[in-house]
Amino acid sequence: MVPEFLSFSISLAVAVKKGEMQDEGIVRKKVLLAGLRRSGKTSIQRVVFTGMPAKDTLGLNCACTACTISHPRSSFVGLQLWDIPGHANLDLLGIDLSQLSTLVFVIDAQDDYTRAVTQLLQIIIRAYNANKHVNIEIFVHKVDGLSDEYKLDTLRDIKSRVLDGLSDEEVVQGASQGAVQPQLSYHLTSIYDHSILDAFSQVVQKLARQLPVIQNLLNVFCSNSGIAKAFIFEQNSRLYFATDSTIADASTFEVCVDALDTFDKFSRLYRWEGDTVEKLEGEGGEESSPAQPATASIRLANDLTIAKWQMHQNLILIALIRSDTYDRFKQSIDYNVTFVRDAIVDIVEMERRGMRR
Ligand SMILES: Nc1nc2c(ncn2[C@@H]2O[C@H](COP(=O)(O)OP(=O)(O)O)[C@@H](O)[C@H]2O)c(=O)[nH]1
Ligand SMILES: [Mg+2]
């Protein structure tokens, strides 16, 4: 039951790489949210990063200016998110695409997307030619209310239009010689369910340098502790930074996010005495999370238990496990968690030192 963790060493690159930028002494990765007007960019940004309830986005005004939002300092990945109006001219806004780590393009799937695909092709070519390593993430958005079949047809249609469009383009330098191709990832998203969190988590994970290390750690932890699925969530944003490599369906993720919310709500009902409070308040500064116990669990009706452990200031380990395994081996699992926690704390501290240069 007790895992044997291999010791691992991590080296961080010291120079500021392409696609990174510094502000307030923190290196942040730039993520540009692009797409036609009213495709849902601002709603995504508000729901994911400020916790705005999805229905409140109905009242969002059409922003005519670009805005940036910096992910909290305590985050695992330093992010700067650019939300630009649909009609904006990138050159006039002074956005240097070579500085971009990720381009997120939002397409409204409930609308005619012909014009959106044309704009997407233009921006892919520009972003790719400016930085061959840019991650391009395409959100086929507002899929709530669409049948599963219609969703998949729409996704297939958009993919084929984009591929056709790109193969017709001579402008993607190098691609025609069969060298490098822009790497495109597609996500079906909606702000009315957890798909937007899942998609944005995957976007952010690609920017985390230590992801493979944490993933390996979780794989070892799960296989040695009888755990079906584990996620490391950032509590404030509810984005997950890593999960083990077991394939899980969307409902597993949903149930884990719901549990995270429930733990959070319950923890607000109680005052947690002791070191934890002082530590959280002292370290967190601007965005310290509410004080809460280091561990808690919820038993679901289908003989499964969801357990959580506080890993670091704002990072939570959530694990889905059979209830009988949890009851029998709780102490061993808690013991294994201490290995994961120590490793995560080391990695996070190292990442933060890497961010502050
Ligand atoms: N049904 C649905 N509506 C959405 C979704 N995301 C955004 N919207 C709505 O789309 C409208 C335009 O959103 P907004 O964020 O202002 O678009 P922007 O111009 O791209 O920033 C708003 O009324 C939102 O409530 C979604 O996932 N599903
Ligand atoms: Mg907007």
Question: Do residues 280 and 348 make contact, with C-beta atoms less than 8 angstroms apart?
Answer: no
- Nearest ligand 1 atom, CA 190: 27
* CA 232 to ligand 2 centroid distance, Å: 30
| Ligand 1, pocket-test mutation among 33, 36, 43, most atoms within 8 A of CB | 43
Question: Do residues 86 and 118 make contact, with C-beta atoms less than 8 angstroms apart?
Answer: no
Does the Cβ of 182 fall within 6 Å of ligand 1? no
Query: Domains of the chain by range and CATH?
Result: 20-205 (3.40.50.300), 211-355 (3.30.450.190)
* Distance in angstroms (rounded) separating the CA atoms of residues 286 and 265: 20
Does the Cβ of 46 fall within 6 Å of ligand 1? no
* Distance in angstroms (rounded) separating the CA atoms of residues 280 and 289: 7
Question: Do residues 310 and 295 make contact, with C-beta atoms less than 8 angstroms apart?
Answer: yes
* CB contact set of 196 (below 8 Å; sequence gap of 6+): 44, 47, 48, 189, 190
Does the Cβ of 142 fall within 6 Å of ligand 1? yes
Does the Cβ of 35 fall within 6 Å of ligand 1? yes
DSSP structure class, residue 55: G
* CA 113 to ligand 2 centroid distance, Å: 17
Q: By three-state DSSP, how is residue 118 classified? A: helix
Residue that has been written with the tokens 């490391």 in this structure: 232
Reading the chain (357 residues) residue by residue, the pLDDT tens digits are 443 333 332 222 223 344 444 445 556 788 999 999 899 999 998 998 888 899 998 887 766 566 676 665 556 677 888 887 776 677 666 678 888 899 999 999 999 999 999 999 999 999 999 999 999 999 999 999 899 999 999 999 999 999 998 887 655 555 555 555 788 999 999 999 999 999 999 999 898 878 888 999 999 999 999 999 999 998 888 899 899 999 888 889 999 999 998 888 877 676 555 444 444 444 444 444 444 457 889 998 889 999 999 988 788 999 999 999 999 999 999 999 999 999 988 888 887 776 665
Q: 92 phi and psi, to 5 degrees?
A: -65, -35
